[in-house]
Amino acid sequence: MTTIKKDPVDVVIVGFGWTGAIMGMEMTDAGLSVVALERGEKRDTYPDFAYPRIADELTYGIRLKLFQETAKETVTVRHNPGDYAVPYRQFGSFLPGNGVGGAGVHWNGMHWRALPSDLKLHTTISERYGKAFIPEGMLLQDYPVDYADLEPFFDKFEKVCGTAGKSGNLRGQIIEGGNPFEGPRTSEYPTPPLKSLYSGTLFSKAAKELGYHPFAIPAANCSQPYTNPYGVQLGPCNYCGYCERFGCFMYSKGSPQSTILPVLTQRKNFELRTNSMVIKVNLDSSGKKATGVTYIDIQGREIEQPANMVILSAYQLHNVRLLLLSGIGQPYNPQTGEGMVGRNYAYQMNSGISLFFDKDTHFNPFIGAGAAGAVIDDFNSDNFDHTDLGFIGGAYISAVRTGGRPIQQMTLPADTPTWGAGWKQGIKDNYLHSMSIGSEGSVMPYKECYLDLDPNYKDAFGQPLLRMTFDWKPNEVKMTQHITSKMQGIATAMNPKQMKVSVMDMNSHYDVRPYQSTHTTGGAIMGDSPSNSVVNKYLQSWDVPNVFVQGASAFPQNMAYNPTGLVGALAYWSAHAIRTQYLANPGPLVQA
Amino acid sequence: MKTIRKTQLAILLLSASGLYAQAAPAPLEQRIAHGEYLSRAGDCTACHTAVGGQPFAGGLKMTTPVGAIYSTNITPDKKQGIGEYSFTEFSDAVRKGIRKDGTHLYPAMPYPSFVKINEDDMQDLYLYFQHGVKPVAQANKDSDIPWPLNMRWPLAGWNLMFRHDGVFQPDTQQTTAWNRGAYLVQGLGHCGSCHTPRGIGFQEKALDQSEPEYLSGGTLEGWHAANLRGDKATGLGYWSEQQIAQFLKSGHTEKSAAFGSMTDVVQDSTQYLNAEDLQAIAVYLKSLQPMGDNAKEPVKDSATYQALANGKATQPGAQLYLDNCAACHRSDGMGYENTFPALTHNPVLLSKDPSSLISIVLKGSHMPITQTAPTGLTMPDFGWRLSDEDVAQLLSFVRTGWGNQAEPVSASQVKDIRAELPKPQGK
């Protein structure tokens, strides 16, 4: 195949979701010429998310119009290193985004900062419980940055999104009604919390009575009209119930489209090329310097884009795969523990309780938003004493009402028939009168949970698929069972007529069919040395210093919180280092 | 700004300096930059740059009742553009509608307004178009108007009747700001092209404030350009000078937003005007007396809100409003500040002619994308979803709800405007 060679640019960005847009903004601010390559199509609030077409659950929720096309590329999955992995052909467990805006289009907008202890988990656990508390085979490690490093960048990303919330810790002062466990914030949230829905109100009341500390979930849905620091206007959330799996028609949910692209795409030193699938990062003969990337355009032509700097800002799994396909860094070997690329893959451990009330209690579930609800952080991270519990990590417990959609959001009591007149009656009896509580928990990294290239399956372009080796470990099952028992306590205090609990047990295996979360992490983790990480504290590759790898692939282990707040903050932090240090003196920003 | 070679510069300075023997001439770059500013004020690009085309290379299709015409190449290309035009020839084209070859321009070119541009500004515009614009060798396109209607000599008669020669004459009774505003609005801004009703010969019925029809609202291609006079219900009676200036700068105020072709005007033209000129325009517009259309002013009324908030959508159009509009414009019709415009007490909703309302519902529209408001918030199109009867009911509801007292809209009015739309999109 002949390769078309494009004119060189300063920066090429691979993947145009949140981190691609942030890096595009920052690099063009620095005066650099930037080309962003996105494998999917161009999408914007209008016409792609326009009301009422976007509120179509079948098209977007079930047929997954906004997501990666499995026919072109997917991942293979197995539980253990000895197993044969098979392709993830029908999306269930997690939903990789595609197209301009990436997963930033269809997220629920839960906008968290990491807890200080999340970023220093190894140190926190060792100091409080002793090193022996960490089980054999768990590859727990600290981030090479702490909360104070990232605070200005958490703040910046919240201001870009117009995030709605209430401080619990403003410059060290604990504030009633916010999250008392959060790290100190330098400023209040840009917009006030979303309105409390009735399910959240009941949950908060019960949680408070039990001595917990409920607060409104920080939401990247503006609660009122807002103009962000780029001058981009956002609209207020109207609780339509179509956040997850959908784009926002109200200009309310923070997405690259609603916060950054109106300004970035007008810039003369920025170019976006869609339908451009990057297949590898090109290296010079030394293997220590990237010369650009090669991609396939919509006509199937192979195109080389030379660049002085390569920023990988694709989805976590794809970032790792590109590193492996390009020969950047050494692939992880679970037998020897050598090699870092693909190591520390982690996920999320969740549980839920459905609560059914009598007909006097109305929840009106069609009023909802991805992050509308109440939450407690009393059992997250190391906010509680683990001494006698025998596990590391935790979860947040929340009552969120993301919506009341007809296909996927019809929860029924366990004894209801699954079809026919009995099912219809069940819907009538319960639709308006049920709610749920959920826990979203951390997952620690393990020696045998990792990513590598699959030896058997290839994508539409003939390149090996990424292989995921992952299963639940006792630490996470113990964690979720403990959290769920606390959750049951809250649910019982709410006094429903019936409850339905779903929680993993020691016999549970990772099942890719039901949706759990799209918070896959790790594989190109950040650390303080090439011996424990793929990138340094500025997300710069240890092996090829003009390659920067953004996103949740940098997380050493997965926290309970949804990742986007940390992903955005890390991108701004990385960009700041590039602008203030790297550009003047290109080369490793941290000496190995 | 394009670079100019040194030698060219010297020659230009020599030729230009002759015109300004008295005062020290402004440096050429400054005059070209000023010419560019004036070209923005005149929104030359609106017609002379085709969608996706080179700046000022022409080719934009404009439909007229007798056939389409195409805007011309006004780049300094010597063959296809105006590179061979002398200053006088350029001035005659802009101010009199007469081309270098003596033929007449169609009055789609607003020369009846541009005739008011003063001599100094014409010079600077000429310098800009000769030296600040990149030449493009793009041939002009003949009009689609069939013989004998394509003969241009009758335009001389049109000009005799409707063109009033003579540059703008300041009114010494008025302030400097008023005079500057009048000069910009009547001349380069050619606001009357859309905002003044047209007469039997398609001429603007008035060209300045001396007649009450001036800027009292006009309808073109399915959009009603608003009344800009002091009428309280339908005009700018309740707008402050500051709101007018903000609107022209950013494309919106707290409660209203530009739409339809005004979106392009703000994007391409008014957002680039300096604060003094915007203020001057506001001063002049605020001086225009109400035309007295007897439109009823909105009254205070909470019944519509109460009904919608309590789920009583019994009034015709109310359910359509809740299902299609209330998410952004809200059940109190107030919208959200600076984001989604208010429907209550908003003059553009209350004009006798509902064309704009019908068009915006059928086609949708986006707010201007400006330096101060880059988002371009978009109202989606509803033409694929709502029938003529639906739109009529919905707009009648909006025009009479929340204390609004405008006349209802009929399905046949909607039908007429829908007929001008491209084929409806698939559902």
Domain residue ranges in chain B = 6-162, 176-286, 303-419
> How many residue pairs bridge chain A and chain B with CB atoms within 8 Å of each other?
56
Residues of A in contact with B364 (CB under 8 A): 46
Question: A236 vs B324: CB contact, 8 Å cut-off?
Answer: no
Question: A235 vs B377: CB contact, 8 Å cut-off?
Answer: yes
Look at residues A128, A213, A222 and name the one whose alpha carbon lies nearest to residue A169.
A213
Lookup: tokens for B118: 């003063």
Nearest chain A residue to B250 by CA distance is: A231
Residues of B in contact with A231 (CB under 8 A): 372-374
pLDDT reported for residue B53: 94
pLDDT reported for residue B206: 92
- Mean pLDDT score of chain B, rounded to an integer? 91
Residue B349 pLDDT exceeds 50: yes
Q: What topology does CATH give the domain B303-419? A: Cytochrome Bc1 Complex; Chain D, domain 2 (1.10.760)
Q: How far is B325 from chain A (nearest CA, A)?
A: 10
pLDDT reported for residue A405: 95
Q: What percent of chain B has pLDDT over 70?
A: 93
User: Exposed (0-12), middle (13-18) or buried (19+): which is B415, by Cβ within 10 Å?
Assistant: middle
pLDDT classification of B422: cutoffs 50, 70, 90: confident
Look at residues A570, A17, A33, A13 and name the one whose alpha carbon lies nearest to residue A257.
A17
pLDDT reported for residue B165: 78
The vertex-A212 CA angle with A207 and A213, nearest 5°, equals 100
The H-assigned helical ranges of A210-362 are 256-259, 261-264, 316-326
Residues of B in contact with A50 (CB under 8 A): 378, 380-381
Report whether B151 contacts B203 (CB < 8 A). Answer: no
**SS3 (DSSP) at B160:** helix
**CB-based contacts of B238: which residues, under 8 Å, 6+ apart?**
B232, B345, B347
The H-assigned helical ranges of A334-381 are none
Provide residues of B within 8 Å CB-CB of chain A.
Answer: 323-324, 327-328, 336-340, 364, 366, 369, 372-378, 380-381, 385
Decide if A352 touches B, using CB distance below 8 A: no
Decide if A59 touches B, using CB distance below 8 A: no
Lookup: tokens for A350: 């969740």
Decide if A531 touches B, using CB distance below 8 A: no
CA distance B267 to B262: 8
Question: B364 vs A46: CB contact, 8 Å cut-off?
Answer: yes
CA distance A116 to A30: 30
Residues of B in contact with A235 (CB under 8 A): 328, 336, 339-340, 377
Q: What is the mean pLDDT of residues B321-329?
A: 95
Residues of B in contact with A230 (CB under 8 A): 374
Give the number of other Cβ atoms within 10 Å of residue A530's Cβ: 17
Clarify whether A509 is annotated catalytic: no
Partner residue facing A225 (CB), from B324, B337, B364: B337
Helix A147-161 and helix A564-577: axis angle, to 10°?
A: 110
Partner residue facing A51 (CB), from B327, B369, B374: B327
Residue B1 pLDDT exceeds 70: no
Residue B10 pLDDT exceeds 90: no
pLDDT reported for residue B7: 46
CA distance A379 to A392: 11
Residue B8 pLDDT exceeds 70: no
Partner residue facing A262 (CB), from B376, B380, B381: B376
Going by their DSSP bridges, the two strands B365-366 and B378-379 should be labelled as antiparallel
Best of A25, A44, A51 to disrupt the B interface by mutation (most B CBs within 10 Å)?
A51
Q: Which of A79, A362, A519, A576 is catalytic?
A: A519
Nearest chain A residue to B337 by CA distance is: A225
Residue stretches of chain A with pLDDT short of 70: 1
Q: Which residues of A235-253 are buried (b: 16+ CB within 10 A; e: fewer)?
A: bbbbbbbbbbbbbbbbbbb
pLDDT reported for residue B17: 44
Q: Which CATH number fits domain B176-286: 1.10.10, 3.40.50, 3.30.200, 1.10.760?
A: 1.10.760
Question: B339 vs A235: CB contact, 8 Å cut-off?
Answer: yes
pLDDT classification of B12: cutoffs 50, 70, 90: very low
Partner residue facing A233 (CB), from B364, B375, B385: B375
Residue B426 pLDDT exceeds 60: no
Residue B119 pLDDT exceeds 90: yes
Report whether A351 contacts A503 (CB < 8 A). Answer: yes
Best of B271, B320, B339 to disrupt the A interface by mutation (most A CBs within 10 Å)?
B339
Report whether A530 contacts A592 (CB < 8 A). Answer: yes
Residue B32 pLDDT exceeds 90: yes
pLDDT reported for residue B24: 66
Going by their DSSP bridges, the two strands A547-549 and A169-170 should be labelled as unpaired
Best of A25, A44, A46, A266 to disrupt the B interface by mutation (most B CBs within 10 Å)?
A46
pLDDT reported for residue B18: 44
Report whether A256 contacts A18 (CB < 8 A). Answer: yes
C-alpha distance from residue A175 to each of A182, A371, A389, B375 (Å): 11, 21, 29, 35
Residue B6 pLDDT exceeds 60: no
Partner residue facing A51 (CB), from B369, B375, B380: B380
Q: Which region, left, alpha or beta, applies to residue B402 given φ > 0 means left and ψ of -120 to 50 means alpha?
A: left
DSSP letters along A165-234, please?
Answer: ---SEETTEE-TTS-TTSPPBSS--SBPPPPPPHHHHHHHHHHHHTT---EEPPBSB-SS-EE-TTS-EE
Query: Which is the CATH superfamily of the domain at A3-582?
Result: FAD/NAD(P)-binding domain (3.50.50.60)
Nearest chain B residue to A240 by CA distance is: B327
Q: Which residue matches tokens 């906008």?
A: A111
pLDDT reported for residue A1: 60
If contacts are CB pairs under 8 Å, which of residues 208-227 in chain A contact chain B?
224-225, 227
Question: B369 vs A233: CB contact, 8 Å cut-off?
Answer: no
pLDDT reported for residue B2: 41
C-alpha distance from residue A470 to each of A534, B61, B268 (Å): 20, 61, 56
Amino acid, single-letter form, for residue B263: T
Partner residue facing A225 (CB), from B323, B338, B385: B338
Q: What is the pTM of this model?
A: 0.94
pLDDT reported for residue B160: 76
Same fold, B176-286 and B303-419: yes
